[in-house]
Amino acid sequence: MIHCYGDSWTYGSDLKGDEIPYPNHLSICLQEPFINRGKPGNSNLRIYHDFMEDMTHGKIKELDKVVFCFTEITRFTAWDEYEADSNYCKYTPVFPYGQKRHSELFKWTFNEAQGQYDLWTTMIALHNICTQNKFKYVFGFAFGEDYLQRTSFRPDVQKLVDYVNELKMNRADRRFSSFTKDLKEGQHSDHEGHIKYAEYLWSHLK
């Protein structure tokens, strides 16, 4: 079984007609069934919690394959009993627009440094969990800058970056967005991009 976690890119937003997202194509490449857990608006922290919910409920088995396609670092999550789409995990995406309580929370609480920290510590935790439970995983990235290639952080942050880079993670660092030609800001991948990205992930999982 292949379990795919991510945001709208994994979900397949903006695909048309019979077009299918990369988890479907990856399933064809690996000849294994799949579950697409991509959700539009997901933050990296919510991606982590979606996985944890499935794992603790026994939905992921030893030797299953897991794809994490992380999103931008400026998406955040808050525990919201009213807006959550799960009976178990109440973490909900928070945006600088929409509901007043969310926009105010975003304005006064969240920043880019937090997003970086959430992503890197999430990667460490998921790497350790998947390795311990013998899940074959790959870390992908929908779009955005590769901050792990930078060496100009303040010393304490740089130690965290160096630690992530020293771990033997299965990372597919090329951005999903790079597989679509002439992609404009705010647009999602076209179908050809989904096919190419599935082949790229396949090379990291076969």
- According to DSSP, the residues that pair with 6 across neighbouring strands are none
Q: Give the total number of structural domains in the chain.
A: 1
Here the CATH number for the domain that contains residue 136 is 3.40.50.1110
> 129 CB contacts (<8 Å, ≥6 apart)?
55, 135
Q: How many CA atoms lie within 13 A of 161 on its CB side?
A: 15
Per-residue pLDDT of the chain (206 residues; tens, 9 = 90+): 999 999 999 999 999 999 999 999 999 999 999 999 999 989 999 999 999 999 999 999 999 999 999 999 988 888 888 877 877 888 888 877 766 777 777 777 778 888 999 999 999 999 999 999 999 999 999 999 899 998 888 898 999 999 999 999 999 999 999 999 989 888 999 999 999 999 999 999 98
Give the structural domain span for 183.
Answer: 2-205
The token duo for 66 is 């897991």
Q: What is the pLDDT of residue 82?
A: 82
Q: What is the pLDDT of residue 205?
A: 94
Q: What is the pLDDT of residue 112?
A: 86
Whole-prediction pTM value? 0.93
The token duo for 195 is 């096919």
The token duo for 189 is 């991948």
Q: What is the pLDDT of residue 98?
A: 66
Q: What is the pLDDT of residue 7?
A: 96
